[in-house]
Amino acid sequence: MLQRLEMRIAFCLERAVDADRLAASAPTLALKSEYEEMARSWRLLSRSLQFAETLECFLLDGDARRRGQCS
pLDDT tens per residue across span 41-71: 999 999 999 998 888 888 887 665 555 544 4
pTM of the model: 0.77
Between the two ends of the chain, the Cα-to-Cα distance in Å is 23
What's the rounded Cα separation, in Å, for the pair 14 and 49?
A: 14
User: Residue 26: is its pLDDT beyond 80?
Assistant: yes
CB 1 within 8 A of CB 54: no
Helix (H) / strand (E) element for 18: namely helix 2-24
How confident is the prediction for the chain on average, in pLDDT? 87
